[in-house]
Amino acid sequence: MDDNKLYNALLKSQREHHQGPAPGEARAEDNFTRERPFAGAKRAEPNWIPVGVEDEGYPPTVYDPSVSLAFIGNPKPWSKEQLRERKIIYPGMADKSVMDAYRELRIQLRDRALNASFTVLYSSLALRDSTVTTAFNLAAAFALDAGTSALLVDCDPYARGLASLVSTPMAYGVTDYVADTSLPLGKILYPSGVDRLSVIPAGTQASSAVELFSSVRMKNLILELQNRYPDRCIILNAPPFRDSTEARILERFADQVVFGVPFGRVTEEEIVDSVESLGSDKFAGLVFQE
């Protein structure tokens, strides 16, 4: 897709949703710069200005990742000591094998992706298992690339582990946004403490999660998030696949699906049955956890 088509697609999505930018996040059109000539110049030279400046004669034409990444704030970054305490990966960490494992997973998922921006669903095959730490680290692995960003959307309303991984207090989340049409998107997006990684918590409406995840508003939310950045990876952290209806509903929003397999808690037959029941070419692989 060329630059103009990409811009028009993103702008169309923004108009459909009629929502302003979330704090620390760029709007789709804010990801572009536009060119205007210097006044009085005999031969116009490029003078790049941010979209949003009133200059209607020069539409945005060139996607600039540095513009969009500048909107992703991280006001309370974790220190290396704090990252280590929370078992969050970071450059230069002592256990290089862990970092390499996440980097390899990132490479494999990118190789499978059809576009620079794609959505991965992560879900455990063990019953009653929380996967948020692994999902957070997978998103952090994508955010390590200084030229891209990542978004973790926690869609497991039955687990509360995300709060301990994020440096900013969180209130509203996915289920609250979908349940309350007056709640703006900016109220559920939070900086994580890791550069270029934003998070959305699961919210407080656990009892009606199945209906909320099946709604049109949920579909529109995912589309909005997918269209904000043309080079961002979105990780959907889902409840256990074999133990919930929610994970099977959320799978429709993902381009790829990765299953977590805790050591000694899932049999080979259960793995095969789960992959077959997925019934989709979206299956990307397994993450074996100690």
| Beta-sheet pairing, 232-237 with 47-50 | unpaired
- The confidence score (pLDDT) of residue 25 equals 76
> Rounded to whole angstroms, what are the CA distances from 280 to 90, 148, 248, 275?
33, 28, 11, 8
Environment class of 268 (CB within 10 Å of its CB; exposed 0-12, middle 13-18, buried 19+) = exposed
Beta-sheet strand order (sheet of 232-237): 190-191, 197-200, 149-154, 232-237, 118-124, 256-262, 283-289
Q: Name the pLDDT band for 247 (thresholds 50, 70, 90).
A: very high
Query: pLDDT (tens digit, 9 = 90+) per residue, 70-95?
Result: 778 899 999 999 999 999 999 999 99
Q: Name the pLDDT band for 270 (thresholds 50, 70, 90).
A: very high
On whether the CB atoms of residues 203 and 240 are closer than 8 A, the answer is no
On whether the CB atoms of residues 155 and 218 are closer than 8 A, the answer is no
> Any idea how long the chain is?
290
- Exposure letters 33-68 (e unless 16+ CB within 10 A, then b): bbeeeeeeeeeeeeeeeebeeeeeeeebeebbbebb
- The confidence score (pLDDT) of residue 44 equals 39
Query: pLDDT (tens digit, 9 = 90+) per residue, 103-146?
Result: 999 999 999 998 889 999 999 999 888 899 999 999 999 999 98
- Classify 272 as helix, strand or coil: helix
Picking from 50, 59, 47, the residue whose alpha carbon sits closest to that of residue 7 is 59
End-to-end CA distance of the chain: 42
| Residue 32, both tokens | 């572009």
Query: pLDDT (tens digit, 9 = 90+) per residue, 186-199?
Result: 999 999 999 999 99
Quote the CA–CA distance of 256 and 119 in Å, as a whole number. 7
Return the number of other C-beta atoms located less than 10 Å from residue 114's C-beta: 8
Looking at 56-70, 72-86, 207-221, which range is the least confident one?
56-70
- The confidence score (pLDDT) of residue 61 equals 54
Picking from 10, 38, 48, the residue whose alpha carbon sits closest to that of residue 26 is 10
Phi and psi based region of residue 122 (left: phi greater than 0; alpha: psi -120 to 50; beta: remaining): beta
Query: pLDDT (tens digit, 9 = 90+) per residue, 12-42?
Result: 544 444 444 556 676 665 665 544 444 444 4
Specify the amino acid at residue 8: N
Query: pLDDT (tens digit, 9 = 90+) per residue, 146-182?
Result: 889 999 999 999 998 999 999 999 999 999 999 999 9
Tally of CA atoms within 13 A in the half-sphere of 193 that contains its CB: 22
- The confidence score (pLDDT) of residue 230 equals 85
Environment class of 239 (CB within 10 Å of its CB; exposed 0-12, middle 13-18, buried 19+) = buried
The arithmetic mean of pLDDT across residues 216-227, rounded, is: 96
Q: Please state the domain extents for the chain.
A: 3-69, 80-289
Query: pLDDT (tens digit, 9 = 90+) per residue, 279-288?
Result: 889 999 999 9
More confident residue, 215 or 64: 215
Quote the CA–CA distance of 187 and 23 in Å, as a whole number. 8
Query: pLDDT (tens digit, 9 = 90+) per residue, 256-266?
Result: 999 999 988 99
On whether the CB atoms of residues 123 and 247 are closer than 8 A, the answer is yes
pTM: predicted TM-score of the whole model, two decimal places: 0.81
- The confidence score (pLDDT) of residue 69 equals 79
Q: Does the domain formed by 80-289 have CATH 3.40.50.300? A: yes
